[in-house]
């Protein structure tokens, strides 16, 4: 029998064997607040399209399928209340190719949150089949040809159903490959458990803000393109990076680096911040890896003041050629800056860290820092930031997506 233990973070239990969860020790039948994300197979715009004349009035004009998905997920609390599950929907947003939903499980349930989500997913897929799937036609004495999912295959497919809109009908070819409208995920969905103070308000604001963010991304595509082969030619070498944002920020004539020792006091950080902000107001582009607390404070102040930033990512972009890389966009604190052309994100390739110029500069500061250590990486990023702030850098792009 499963043993439950309630902590300040929620209900925990021994993980179920063979199940994939974001948090292996979390009991998904317990009280919690979840942010659930579900995507359409191949990110097809099955649920509607972006509408509105500006970022301020942007909204999603839902298709027939989008309306059904909205109705189904909105109906989860009432449906599962009959099964003894106390669920509340705190926020939901249907986007053209995915949906966000913030759920509050108010009492321990007999079912897991995964079962709740899968039931809604199944209902939506069944509705799609009924409404949009081409109807089979074959002589009464000839059996229908079916694929592994039991769906009719050519040449058994005839004309699409007369019901539904064109958007749903065009999705039929994609649907036939899997028999589901939903993108495959091992766990069936992507969830984030909201543990900390302030997370819920931020997540609700993020979900509500999705149409505006999509409008900005659609109308400023040049700043949201992840470029895979950016070459930075400096006096210290030829560095290859991945990048997103306004590449012209590296061509500004005035640039300054933000680098702060972890030993600085708050008064020293504030003094440094005042200098950086004064120069930023005069047209300097600020460059930093934003690693130490002082650096983070100053970079935040520069961003909030609306000045341009170049950030060297210590954690990098998502893995190359992964689905996350394809759909990556900056997080909330950087999104608007990126859309307005005030941000450039850079991730140096591993070959840059191993280059002789960078290695020599790092070892002069920390002779015993192992090549694969975090300290080596941080010192290397600060070395690159310093070079970008002082030297003339020629930028070229070999490949982009």
Is the pLDDT reported for residue 160 higher than 50?
A: no
Query: 48-78 burial by CB neighbour count: b if 16+ within 10 A, else e?
Result: bebeeeebeebebebbbbbebbbebbeebbe
Q: What 3-state class would DSSP assign to 311?
A: strand
Is the pLDDT reported for residue 104 higher than 60?
A: yes
pLDDT in tens, 20-64: 456 667 888 999 999 999 999 989 999 999 999 998 999 999 999
Please check whether residue 31 is in contact with residue 195, taking contact to mean a CB–CB distance below 8 angstroms: no
Of 312, 387, 378, 395, give the one whose Cα is nearest residue 357: 387
Quick one: pLDDT band at residue 152, thresholds 50, 70, 90?
low
The class level of CATH for 5-133+181-217 reads alpha beta
Place of tokens 């490959």: 177
Provide φ and ψ at 372, rounded to 5°: -100, 15
Q: Of 52-61, 71-80, 110-119, 158-167, where does mean pLDDT reach its minimum?
A: 158-167
Of 60, 61, 43, give the one whose Cα is nearest residue 98: 43
Is the pLDDT reported for residue 156 higher than 70?
A: no
Place of tokens 């920390």: 366
Q: What's the CA gap between 102 and 93, in Å, rounded?
A: 9
Q: What is the mean pLDDT of residues 72-97?
A: 93
Residue 188: the pLDDT is 80
Quick one: pLDDT band at residue 134, thresholds 50, 70, 90?
low
pLDDT in tens, 74-83: 999 999 998 8
Residues forming a β-bridge with 6: 11
pLDDT in tens, 245-274: 998 898 888 999 999 999 999 999 999 999
pTM above 0.85, yes or no: no
pLDDT in tens, 317-369: 988 878 778 888 888 778 999 999 999 999 999 999 988 889 998 988 888 88
Q: Please indicate whether residue 390 or residue 296 has the higher confidence score (pLDDT).
A: 296
Query: What's the alpha-carbon Rg for the chain, to the nearest Å?
Result: 26
Residues forming a β-bridge with 146: 152
**Where do the CATH 3.30.70.1290 domains begin and end in the chain?**
5-133+181-217
- Please provide the distance, in angstroms rounded to a whole number, between the alpha carbons at the two ends of the chain: 51
Q: Of 124-133, 151-160, 332-341, 368-377, where does mean pLDDT reach its minimum?
A: 151-160
Is the pLDDT reported for residue 6 higher than 50?
A: no
């Amino acid at each position: 029998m499963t043993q439950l233990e309630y902590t300040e973070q929620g209900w925990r239990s021994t993980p179920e064997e063979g199940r994939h969860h974001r948090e292996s020790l979390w009991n998904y039948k317990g009280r919690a607040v979840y942010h659930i994300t579900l995507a359409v197979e191949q990110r097809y715009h099955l649920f509607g399209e972006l509408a509105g004349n500006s970022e301020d009035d942007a909204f999603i004009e839902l298709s027939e399928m989008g309306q059904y998905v909205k109705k189904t997920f909105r109906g989860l609390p009432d449906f599962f209340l009959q099964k003894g599950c106390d669920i509340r929907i705190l926020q939901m947003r249907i986007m053209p190719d995915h949906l966000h939903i913030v759920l509050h499980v108010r009492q321990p349930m007999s079912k897991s949150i995964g079962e709740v989500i899968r039931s809604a997913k199944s209902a939506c897929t069944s509705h799609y089949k009924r409404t949009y799937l081409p109807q089979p036609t074959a002589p009464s004495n000839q059996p229908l040809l079916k694929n592994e999912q039991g769906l009719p295959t050519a040449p058994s497919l005839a004309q699409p159903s007369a019901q539904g809109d064109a958007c749903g009908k065009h999705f039929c070819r994609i649907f036939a490959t899997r028999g589901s409208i939903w993108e495959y995920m091992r766990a069936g969905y992507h969830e984030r458990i909201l543990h900390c103070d302030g997370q819920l308000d931020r997540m609700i604001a993020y979900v509500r803000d999705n149409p505006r963010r999509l409008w900005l991304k659609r109308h400023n595509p040049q700043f949201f393109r992840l470029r895979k082969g950016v070459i930075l030619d400096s006096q210290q070498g030829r560095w290859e990076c991945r990048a997103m944002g306004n590449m012209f920020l590296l061509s500004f004539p005035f640039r300054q680096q933000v680098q702060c020792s972890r030993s600085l006091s708050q008064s020293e950080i504030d003094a440094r911040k005042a200098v950086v902000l004064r120069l930023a107001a005069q047209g300097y582009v600020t460059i930093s890896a934003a690693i130490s607390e002082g650096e983070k404070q100053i970079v935040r102040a520069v961003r909030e003041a609306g000045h341009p930033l170049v950030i060297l990512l210590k954690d990098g972009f998502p893995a190359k050629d992964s689905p996350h890389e394809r759909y990556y966009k900056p997080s909330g604190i950087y999104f608007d800056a990126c859309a307005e052309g005030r941000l450039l994100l850079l991730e140096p390739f591993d070959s840059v860290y191993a280059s002789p110029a960078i290695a020599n500069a790092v070892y002069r500061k920390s002779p015993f820092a192992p090549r694969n250590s975090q300290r080596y990486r941080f010192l290397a990023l600060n070395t690159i930031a310093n070079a970008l702030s002082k030297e003339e850098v020629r930028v070229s792009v070999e490949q982009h997506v």
